[in-house]
Chains A and B, each alone.
Chain A
């Protein structure tokens, strides 16, 4: 199974709502990532978890709160978002995160978020 799943596929929320995005992988990967992709732009890294610990936060506003409850799951909690946060949110996983060489990242299909 080389699949990363993301739910929901689409999400519409108001600026006062609280919602969560979910990502799951069963490849035994110990690194998981959140990326944000605005329309017609490349993906931008938001957060990296390595062995369930947050290792990189790319200066993301606190209205985005990541959580890694176990090695297979990654959540992104959303609160008080702005319309400019509307984007495709991509989750990825890889075998590892640090060290020599490289680790291919496997991406999910993304959650398309619209903030009204």
Chain B
């Protein structure tokens, strides 16, 4: 699987936007960019995914660079509940298996 690089940690204040970066310079044309997050003492949960175009859903937005070598997960207004480890994961659409290979992720700290 192609590798991703994320900052170890980021801090934000409540109700402010948060931009979580992910670098994936070796991404292939068939790799989807997925984001999962893991709240304390819980299992990971799906956040969003995209291939080439920017994506929005009720949880977040995903901005994908034109060359696809990086992406940014955007939380529009952080809440205390958004404090979690955020994982950026590449998944090959043609690999035949839809497994997840987690990297180290970014720990997001949200202050009131």
Contacts and interface: CB of A to CB of B under 8 A. Distances in A.
Interface of B: 32, 34, 36, 38, 41-46, 49, 85, 87, 91, 93-94, 96-105
Interface of A: 4, 31, 33, 42-45, 48, 55-56, 90, 92, 94, 96-110
Secondary structure type dominating chain B contacts? loop
Contact of A43 (B32, B44, B46, B96): B44
30 contacts: A4-B43, A42-B85, A42-B104, A42-B105, A43-B100, A44-B102, A45-B99, A45-B100, A48-B97, A48-B99, A56-B97, A90-B43, A92-B44, A96-B98, A97-B97, A97-B98, A103-B98, A104-B46, A105-B36, A105-B44, A105-B98, A105-B100, A106-B46, A107-B42, A107-B43, A107-B45, A109-B42, A109-B43, A110-B42, A110-B43
A40 B75 CA distance: 23
Given A56-B97, A100-B94, 14 more contacts: A4-B43, A42-B85, A43-B44, A55-B97, A90-B44, A96-B98, A98-B96, A100-B93, A102-B34, A102-B49, A107-B42, A107-B43, A107-B45, A109-B41
A44 B43 CA distance: 12
